[in-house]
Each structure stands twice: as C-alpha cells, then as structure tokens.
Structure 1
Amino acid sequence: MKSPKAVIKDWLAAYNARDADALIELYHDDAVNQQVAFGAPICGRDALLESFVAFFRAFPDNSTHPIHILEDGEWAVVEWQGSGTFLGELGGNVPNGKSFTLQGCGFFHIVEGKIKFQRGYIDKHTWFAQLELPVV
C-alpha cells in the first residue's frame, strides 16, 4: 500500500495532467473534499468527479506545484503554488481570459491507500480579484 506522501505525488501528477478519471481513482467512494473558502464540502466520488471536470474545463492550463509535502501517520499536507487561465464557464461565471497565481495548503487523510478526506485553504479574495470575479 502506498504511503500518504506517495498518494499525494500521484494526486499532483493526475491533477497537473488534468486527468479527472485518474484523479478520482485516488479517492474512497465516500470521500469528502472541503475547500474552506467555498463553504459546504463536496461528498462522494460522483460529486468530486463532476467538480474536477468542471474545474479543468474552466482552467484548462491549470497547474499546481508543491512547495512542501509533509507526512504524519495517515495524513499528508501539501503547501502549493498554482496558476491558470479562466477560459471556460464555472459556477455561472463567464470566462474572461484572466490568469491567476495562488498559494494554498491542502490536508489529506489517506486510509488504505486512498483519500478519505481532503481540506484545502486558499485566499479566495486574492484568487477572485485576479480573475475579476465578485467575492461572495
């Protein structure tokens, strides 16, 4: 079974390839992804897959690069820097070709070699200001 750090390296590779199918294979069926800046968590693989597909469609050049990857027992933590260009509709927002760069941090609980829980922290105001989107 892969270590949490190895699972996160696989996650980063799938994420940067914008391969939603490979990405979702890293999650438990009942996984939860809570992005704190956006409120309610996304629950279950079907909903997670839908969110990844929508995000990759909106930001087809999105990339995320790890600054640090830490492991403690069943947990992995990633400090990252990412960027992308808003080229597809997302959440009712019309694409405008604006680009962003952003830093954030993600916590991943890895159980039996798969992601059971994920929590991410970003500065939504900084991200949306770069994209010229309203922060709501």
Structure 2
Amino acid sequence: MMSESNPIERSFEIAAERCEDITPLVYRRLHSEHPETLTMFRTEGSEPVKGSMLALTIDAILDFVGPRTGHFRMIECEISSHDAYGTPRDLFIAFFGIIARTLRDILGEDWSPEIDKAWRNLLGEIEALVAQTAPA
C-alpha cells in the first residue's frame, strides 16, 4: 500500500516497484563518489554485508521519519561504531545522501518536490544528529 503521508517511505515504495534490489546501485555510487570506500569492504564475500548494512539503514530511516519505535536509534549507534572503525563522519553522512540520489535516479519524474523536500530535511536532521553525537 502506497504511503501518501510519508514522502520518504513513498520514495522507497516506488523504487521497490521498479528495482528488485537497490544495493548494487547504492554501492556503485558510493564507490564512484568516494573511491576510498573500496578498501573498506572485502573484495569477495562483502555483498551480504553491504545488503544487510543498507537494509538496516533503510529500516532506521523509515523509523526516523515515521513512528520512531526504536530502529531510528540505530543511526546514533552506528555513528559511534563507524567512529570506532575510523570512518570519517562526513562519509557516514554522505551515505544517506547517496541513498537519496540513487532513489532520485530510479524515480525519475516521480521524484516530486515533496519527496525532495522530505529528503533534504532528513539529510539535515542526520547531519545535525552526527554533529551533536560526541566522538567515540
């Protein structure tokens, strides 16, 4: 069922209708825009890890913009764990923008001003959350 009230959820639903798995598209863009990420994943066997990481991120995003039942807290937890991995915080933030731009490409003309505004607001909120979270 299409969510009329939540533009971010709607963007994921439309993308799911058009693309069976956005994981390769997201990581292709990540590695293209941030080549330093290529060394952050094993060359073999990392596909399930990437898929899981993206799935958890999407769950956290949908909870963050929706009911906030608890999954959104994963974003805060992952800030700390990525700090421990040595992931620069600007790269952590960039991952969310990469998801948004990948969805925008998939949605094409269906990427509405409402969806765009919701994603820009979300990205700003995530950037603020990262800024207020003390480094590990």
TM-score (norm 1): 0.31
> Taking CA–CA contacts closer than 8 Å with sequence separation of 6 or more, which of the two structures ends up with the larger relative contact order?
2
Q: Hey, which of these two has a bigger chunk of strand by percent?
A: 1
Q: Hey, which of these two has a bigger chunk of helix by percent?
A: 2
TM-score (norm 2): 0.31
